[in-house]
């Protein structure tokens, strides 16, 4: 069953544990410190899973990070994602 994965940790062990659990129907939302991963090699591992990847725009702006080929959503989009998925996991 597809799930929304809220990833708030920077690249590292948490990302490595998440990747094997992702499927093509999943959505990953990078927020908080995780947006630093937009320019990290582990982003390619997330992409390789087939899961959709998005980042929270206000968190990117607060850290001066530019988009890196992922969808950028605002708070309204965040709410929409949480409403769209029955299963939500925080990492």
Q: Name 89's bridge partners.
A: 5
**Residue 4 predicted with pLDDT over 80:** yes
User: What was the pLDDT predicted at 38?
Assistant: 94
Closest Cα to residue 61, out of 44, 77, 76, 73? 73
Cut 0.75: pTM above it: yes
User: What was the pLDDT predicted at 67?
Assistant: 79
Closest Cα to residue 55, out of 80, 33, 30, 34? 30
The domains of the chain are located at 4-90
User: What was the pLDDT predicted at 68?
Assistant: 77
What are 21-75's pLDDT values in tens digits?
999 899 999 999 999 999 999 999 999 999 999 999 999 999 999 977 899 999 9
User: What was the pLDDT predicted at 69?
Assistant: 86
Closest Cα to residue 84, out of 60, 54, 48? 54
Q: In the CATH scheme, what is the homologous superfamily, with its name and number, of domain 4-90?
A: DsrEFH-like (3.40.1260.10)
User: What was the pLDDT predicted at 76?
Assistant: 98
């Amino acid at each position: 069953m597809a799930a929304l994965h809220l990833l708030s940790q920077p690249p590292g062990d948490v990302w490595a544990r998440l990747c094997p659990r992702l499927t093509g129907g999943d959505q990953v939302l990078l927020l908080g410190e995780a947006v630093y991963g937009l320019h990290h090699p582990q982003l390619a591992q997330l992409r390789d899973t087939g899961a959709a990847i998005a980042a929270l725009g206000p968190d990117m702006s607060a850290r001066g990070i530019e988009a890196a080929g992922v969808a950028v959503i605002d708070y309204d989009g965040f709410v929409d994602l949480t409403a769209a998925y029955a299963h939500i996991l925080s990492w």
